[in-house]
Structure 1
Amino acid sequence: MTAPVRPAHIAMFSIAAHGHVNPSLEVIRELVARGHRVTYAIPPAFVEKVAATGARPVPYTSTLPGPDADPEAWGSTLLDNVEPFLDDAIQALPQLVRAYEGDEPDLVLHDIASYPARVLAHRWGVRAVSLSPSLVAWDGYEEEVAEPMWAEPRKTERGRAYYARFAAWLARNGITEHPDAFAGRPARSLVLIPKALQPHADRVDERVYTFVGACQGDRADQGGWQRPDGARKVVLVSLGSAFTRQPAFYRACVRAFADLPGWHLVLQIGRHVDPAELGDVPEGVEVRDWVPQLAVLRQADLFVTHAGAGGSQEGLATATPMIAVPQAADQFGNAAVLESLGVARRLDTGEATADRLREAALALADDPEVARRLKEIQAGMAHEGGTHRAADLIEAELAAGRPM
């Protein structure tokens, strides 16, 4: 920044999901360190995590499945997936109006899933900046992805009712924008993933979207991890925090890696699988319901991941070869990008047998070209700016939106 920015009240809004909260925490911590008063609207499950950044949590009641909910709670169809976000937004908005009455912010930051944030920014007459933890729309996205995906649901009575309800809610709040544009086309967005992970990056409007890359911090508060003595190779298996009920897949991983001489397997199984479901676990296999992922990846030789945006960029940031086993949503696209970058092999869940996992692992772990590509991408990520650049750009939006 060329001139200091006067401290302000910045309000962040998100949902109770690790993949939506974690990517922005270091940015929030940096804004607090720069002297800004930051409030953070979040359901109670994340209050402690938010408070640790120095921001003041503003708890609200959410109707969305919580961070430890059974994955089946999200349903199986597109409308099953999107309707809960609209339902939650409608019921959360009055809570947030009351919570901020008389303490309206100078700037709104929001996760891509926080619809009330953009409504509130419109009502308060302040700028809103999206902090996107995943890929963003490119020129042509609607025609290439959204329209084919929505073609059938839009023909149904349920689909038409969803759009009518969304549009009516926006209209009641003075917004005439179409629901699709409202949800997917922010006026300004900071993208918290490396540009290397963005499909069709050359067609992204950089007047709206700025890639600042990973904002990871040191994660020291999550604890450390020590590579075992004598481990020639370390492989981490993690399907993130949501789609973890996969005991058959975990058993395949044990069979794939347990017999490889000198290999140590760190197997994160989440909270929905009983370790007893894995059967006999040999020495050299470490089973956890949760691990400090970044700490493990800094010492790992291979990462078997669901290819969520957070895990994918952590694999790139630590230059760790990956086997991508996507489970849902944007993970399939991320897996395809990782494979196209030459740093991963993609296996769909049904293909992820012990033999296929072992074959992919042995091909990736000692491939000098994979290592070269990872180092190249890692170096590029270091120049994207990360946390400090994100905070600078937020302060620029703040300065543009009010008299100095």
Structure 2
Amino acid sequence: MGCHILFASIPAWGHLYPVLPGLAELVRRGHRVSCLASGGFAGEVGKVLDVVPYDSPMDSTEVDLADMGSVLPMMLDETRAAYSVLADVVRADPPEVIVSDVLSNAGWLLGRAFDLPVVRTWPVFASNSEFSLHEDYTSRTDTEESMTAFFRAVAAFLDEVGLDTVSPEQFFDNEAEHNIALFPRALQPRGETFDARFTFISPCIRPAEGSPEVPWLARSQPLAVVSLGTVFNEKIDFFRTCLDGIDRLGWYAAAALGKRVNPAAIGPVSPRVLLTPTLPMIDALRHASVAVTHGGLTSTLEALAEGVPVLISPQIGEQRGVADRVEALGLGQLLPDPFTAEELAELIKQVSQDSAMAERLDRFRATVRDADGPAQFADAVEAVPR
């Protein structure tokens, strides 16, 4: 018999795309899944799940995500907004299980407040006592003064919602008994140290879009896909250098510039170039020979699942962690910082002609194809005692 499952996340595609196929599989199995979603995310989420609408401060707040002094207050505001809405849902229509993104503090707190089991999802590298993404790859910019003020604000919020048994430090650093890492254990740094509380699954890759660009992508060979994701993408020099390097090879290029970059700012481009704010990424990767990317884990997994080697130019610390693991597994390379058009062209030639790398990528692609990540995700959620 199906049960009610509540999913809490932050409004970020890199945290939603990796779980939507797994949540859809739970619906297919007869469960009812409610998903917190704000603004521009509700339409896509609503195609397969029941939407719990809310107004997220993250949709309207511009902060430097590398500055913890700005990020922490924003995350508290996000938690406050999400918790208020979700607590009403839990009271009116209690779920049997809460599935909560690692950055959704509201999900973990709801589990504590209402004594409900929580399954934490990790669309980024997981952390334990042996490896911490925050400590190993993130540069701390907060000060003792800013942390003191933050913990004081957290304590006031916890008292306000009746969770004074939770310490402010736990808001920032807490553990869950049930965890789903949305990627294979081989990618996880120190993966062998993660115990039975962590289930590593094959990535849940969203379906191909079947977009109008498919005919162009199919005939534009060889093709390089260029993207910096949806957050750190206002890098005109990066795109210009990439397009110049790809042009030196006589290749085609499809570049997702993001919504804040004017294509005219890139300057003249070859007729072999497609510039667009967003790409139908799965369609593009299915026709690509290489991907030049920021190294977001979701974007990287989407490329590797199609057998496409990745060249990574990290924009933040966690993406450097992804680049390190990709290099260690022989599935791509870290780009120099900075890199030139000549260096990029040479690296594209290297990875596209590397037969040993191609064999490793084929094995990774076959593993993803054969493993059924959405089914593994649903199995892990259903296995949680309730």
TM-score by length of 1: 0.87
SS at match of 2:205: coil
Q: Identify the match of residue 20 of structure 2 among 21, 25, 32.
A: 25
How much identity, in percent, do the aligned residues show?
A: 27
Deviations 1:310-358 (A, max 9, x none): 111112111111110111241110011111111212125x422211111
Q: Identify the match of residue 53 of structure 2 among 59, 64, 83.
A: 59
- Asked whether the 8 Å contact 2:209–2:280 carries over to 1, the reply is no
Indicate yes or no: 2:253 matched with 1:259: no
Q: Identify the match of residue 305 of structure 1 among 273, 276, 293.
A: 293
Supply the distance in 2 between the matched residues of 1:121 and 1:297 (Cα, whole angstroms): 38
Q: Identify the match of residue 393 of structure 1 among 376, 380, 384.
A: 380
- Asked whether the 8 Å contact 2:39–2:55 carries over to 1, the reply is yes
- Asked whether the 8 Å contact 2:66–2:316 carries over to 1, the reply is no
Q: Identify the match of residue 272 of structure 2 among 269, 275, 284.
A: 284
Write the mapping of 1:28-177 to structure 2, written as runs, cut at 5 A: 28-53=23-48, 55-65=49-59, 73-141=63-131, 146=135, 153=142, 156-167=144-155, 169-170=157-158, 172-176=162-166
Distance 1:150 1:249, change over 3 A: closer
Cα offset for 1:277? 0.8
Counterpart amino acid of 2:373? G
SS at match of 2:124: coil
Q: Identify the match of residue 179 of structure 2 among 185, 189, 211.
A: 189
Partner of 2:304: 316
Counterpart amino acid of 1:362? K
- Asked whether the 8 Å contact 1:190–1:210 carries over to 2, the reply is yes
Partner of 1:208: 197
Distance 1:232 1:103, change over 3 A: closer
Cα offset for 1:79? 2.5
Q: Over aligned residues, Cα RMSD in angstroms?
A: 2.5
Distance 1:267 1:217, change over 3 A: closer
Supply the distance in 2 between the matched residues of 1:75 and 1:317 (Cα, whole angstroms): 28
Indicate yes or no: 2:258 matched with 1:270: yes
Deviations 1:128-170 (A, max 9, x none): 101211110133235x9538968774x5211122234335544
Supply the distance in 1 between the matched residues of 2:17 and 2:6 (Cα, whole angstroms): 16
Partner of 1:366: 353
SS at match of 1:7: coil
Distance 1:100 1:181, change over 3 A: closer
Supply the distance in 2 between the matched residues of 1:221 and 1:186 (Cα, whole angstroms): 38
Deviations 1:100-133 (A, max 9, x none): 4321111111111111111112222211101211
SS at match of 1:109: strand
- Asked whether the 8 Å contact 2:224–2:292 carries over to 1, the reply is yes
Counterpart amino acid of 1:352? F
Supply the distance in 1 between the matched residues of 2:284 and 2:65 (Cα, whole angstroms): 32
Partner of 1:237: 226
Cα offset for 1:293? 0.7
Supply the distance in 2 between the matched residues of 1:109 and 1:387 (Cα, whole angstroms): 14
**Structure 2 residue ranges without an equivalent (≥5):** none
- Asked whether the 8 Å contact 1:115–1:183 carries over to 2, the reply is no
TM-score by length of 2: 0.91
Supply the distance in 1 between the matched residues of 2:99 and 2:43 (Cα, whole angstroms): 19
Counterpart amino acid of 1:300? A
Partner of 1:14: 9
Q: Identify the match of residue 282 of structure 2 among 282, 294, 298.
A: 294
Distance 1:49 1:301, change over 3 A: same
Write the mapping of 1:309-348 to structure 2, written as runs, cut at 5 A: 309-348=297-336
Supply the distance in 2 between the matched residues of 1:151 and 1:271 (Cα, whole angstroms): 28
Deviations 1:256-314 (A, max 9, x none): 112323x1111111111111111111111111111111111111100001010111111
SS at match of 1:254: helix
Distance 1:82 1:383, change over 3 A: farther
SS at match of 2:103: coil
Counterpart amino acid of 2:350? A
Counterpart amino acid of 1:14? S
Counterpart amino acid of 1:156? E
Supply the distance in 2 between the matched residues of 1:330 and 1:156 (Cα, whole angstroms): 23
SS at match of 2:215: coil
Deviates further, 226-235 or 8-17:
226-235
Distance 1:86 1:320, change over 3 A: same
- Asked whether the 8 Å contact 2:310–2:332 carries over to 1, the reply is yes
Distance 1:389 1:328, change over 3 A: same
Supply the distance in 1 between the matched residues of 2:212 and 2:221 (Cα, whole angstroms): 23
SS at match of 1:95: helix
Supply the distance in 2 between the matched residues of 1:39 and 1:223 (Cα, whole angstroms): 31
Distance 1:241 1:368, change over 3 A: same
Counterpart amino acid of 1:235? A
